[in-house]
Structure 1
Amino acid sequence: MRHLVLGLAGVAAALSVAACEKIPGTKAYASAQQAAADQKLIAEGQRIAARDLRDPPAAQFREVFVQRNPVGAAPWAGAPVVCGEVNGKNAYGAYAGFVRFIASPSKGLGELEPPPATEGDTQAFNDALLFRISWVFGCLGGKGKV
């Protein structure tokens, strides 16, 4: 009998917490609203990141998150950004490997991590460095190493 009462009390507690997600002004409601907004941002950020791939519908994503307070200079400052890793197909139809991406859904901007620079290719080196700086300030809020 005691286990039945404890079980019913646990079910009642779980139902009351779930009900709070539907009551405006509660912490659970705000958290549920934030999660729904983040899911919309992530979906749009993934769409932006995939649009430059050879086969956008085949894109695979991992480690995707929303950074609500990017710091630093434009274009990432001032609006939430979506950061993560994307894997796309190459010309042979095989997946090429995951690379980092940054996307700003509100600005419609996205950037994929460039391939490593070869020795003497200063433009590729500069592109890679600029992406790393964007990643640290846009995705990590300035808390990381370039």
Structure 2
Amino acid sequence: MKKITTIVAVLCFSLVTQPTWAKSVKEASIAVFESTAKLGSTTFTEFNDDAAKIEEAKAAVLSVLKDPESAQFRNVFITTPTQGTAVCGEVNAKNSYGGFTGFQYFITGGLRGFGTTIEKPSSETGIYMMEWCLANEPKN
């Protein structure tokens, strides 16, 4: 129960601290990605290693797909922005017509059924998502 309360508090804080208007799609998108990372800082704390975080993130993505059994993942990595943790990558899965959608970008804070965004690479939000993810990818 404490975890759920913390997650709700983080989301409420994120919504309150974001401006009620956005100057652009990019600003609105970045606000969503930052909120996702704040959510992830709570969700992923119980996982000790990166592999477990990635598996939990994949489970979160699967929970919002029409056909989770068909999912294919690639280029999955953990981001480390200054305020949180998020997992980014690409997923391809079947839609409700039974055809594959093509690989799409995703970002998740790891909470199943919530805090996950999937966007087409050609969409404006998808472009900003991958830019944000790559900018916050840990440098080895």
TM-score bin (small chain): 0.5 to 0.7
Cα distance in 2, alignment partners of residues 136 and 115 from structure 1: 11
How many percent identity over aligned positions? 35
Cα distance in 2, alignment partners of residues 105 and 55 from structure 1: 19
Match in the other structure for 1:140? 134
Moved over 6 A (4+): none
List aligned pairs for 1:1-146, cutoff 5 A: 37-67=49-79, 69-70=80-81, 78-105=83-110, 109-114=115-120, 116=122, 128-137=123-132, 139-141=133-135
8 Å contact 2:105–2:119 — kept in the other structure? Answer: yes
How far is the alpha carbon of 1:53 from its aligned partner? 1.3
Instruction: Normalising by structure 2, report the TM-score.
Output: 0.53
State the SS of the aligned residue for 2:69. Answer: helix
How far is the alpha carbon of 1:115 from its aligned partner? 7.1
Indicate how the Cα distance of structure 1 residues 142 and 46 shifts in structure 2: closer, same or farther if over 3 A, else same.
closer
The superposition leaves residues 87-140 of structure 1 with CA deviations (integer Å, 9 ceiling, x where unpaired) of: 010223222211111111269511001475xxxxxxxxxxx4344333322x11
Amino acid at match of 1:109: G
8 Å contact 2:105–2:121 — kept in the other structure? Answer: no
Amino acid at match of 1:91: S
8 Å contact 1:85–1:98 — kept in the other structure? Answer: yes
Instruction: Normalising by structure 1, report the TM-score.
Output: 0.51
Q: CA RMSD in A?
A: 2.7
Q: What residue ranges of structure 2 are gaps of 5+ in the alignment?
A: 1-47
Bigger relative contact order, structure 1 or 2, given CA contacts below 8 A and separation 6+? 2
State the SS of the aligned residue for 2:65. Answer: coil
> How many residues were matched structurally?
90
The superposition leaves residues 11-70 of structure 1 with CA deviations (integer Å, 9 ceiling, x where unpaired) of: xxxxxxxxxxxxxxxxxxxxxxxxx61111111111112222111122110111111x22
